[in-house]
Amino acid sequence: MKKIGLFFGSFNPIHIGHLILANYILEHTDMDELWFVVSPQNPFKDKKSLLKDHNRLDMVQLAVKSYPKMRASNVEFSLPKPSYTIDTLTYLHEKYPDHSFSLIMGEDNLSSLHKWKNAELLIKNHHIIVYPRVFEGEKKDSEYLQHENISMIKAPVIELSATEIRNMIKEGKNVRPMLPPEVFEYLDGSSFYK
C-alpha cells in the first residue's frame, strides 16, 4: 500500500518554508509521497485575498516539479464548496483504495481541530502528522496530542508566511529568497499581489 502525506493549504503563494517542511516529512517518516492539496476555499479564511485556483495550482506544480516524491493536487477543485478535509479524505479513499493517507497539519491547526467537520471521525480513521508552528495567541496543549493516531514531529519551525510574502510584494520589496525560483519568476512577471 502506497503511503501518501496530504499537506492541505491555500499556497497563496507556496514558499520555501512549505518545501522545507515537506522534504523534512518525506525524509523523517515512512511516507512514499507528499501531495500538496491546493484548497479552493478554507472555511476559516477570507476568500477575497486568494489568487484564482488555477494560478495557485500552477505555482505549486512549478515548485514541486524537481521533487519526484512531491506532487500538486487539485482534488478539491471538483468537490462541493466549501471543502472539508473529512470529505476530501473520503473521496480519496474511494478513488485510491490501494493508498493510505495521512494528514499533515501545523500544531496551530491541531489546537482548533475540535471545530472541524467530523473531527472525531477524522482522528479515529486517519493518521495525523503534526509539525511545530509559530502562531499568535495562547499556546495550549491540544487534547488530541495523546491520541494514538497523532504523531508530533520535530520539524524545523519556519517563521515565514504567505501573508508576509504577499504584503512584501505589495510594498515592492524583494521576496526572491523566500520563494522557489520558478514561483518567483511566475509572480515577478505578473501583477499578482501588487
- In this prediction, residue 144 carries a pLDDT of 65
Whether 177 is covered by a domain: the verdict is no
Q: What is the pLDDT of residue 114?
A: 86
Question: Within a domain: residue 109?
Answer: yes
Alpha carbon of residue 41 to chain centroid:
13
Structural domain for 54, as ranges: 2-159
Question: Is 124 a domain residue?
Answer: yes
In a domain, 87, yes or no: yes
Q: Is residue 45 part of a domain?
A: yes
The answer to whether the CB of 182 falls within 8 A of the CB of 65 is yes
Among candidates 86, 87, 68, 65, which has minimal Cα distance to 78? 87
- Residue 141 sits at φ, ψ, to 5 deg, of -70, 135
- The order of strands in the sheet holding 150-152 is 70-73, 33-38, 2-9, 99-106, 127-131, 150-152
* Residue at 189 is within a domain: no
User: Is 10 within a domain?
Assistant: yes
CATH number, domain at 130? Answer: 3.40.50.620
- Between CA 4 and CA 86 the distance in angstroms is 16
In sequence order, which residues have a C-beta less than 8 Å from that of residue 116 and are 6 or more positions away?
84, 85, 86, 122
Q: What is the block-wise mean pLDDT of the chain (194 residues), using blocks of 10 residues?
A: 97 98 97 97 66 96 98 96 92 97 91 89 93 65 73 90 95 97 96 92
34 SS3 class: strand
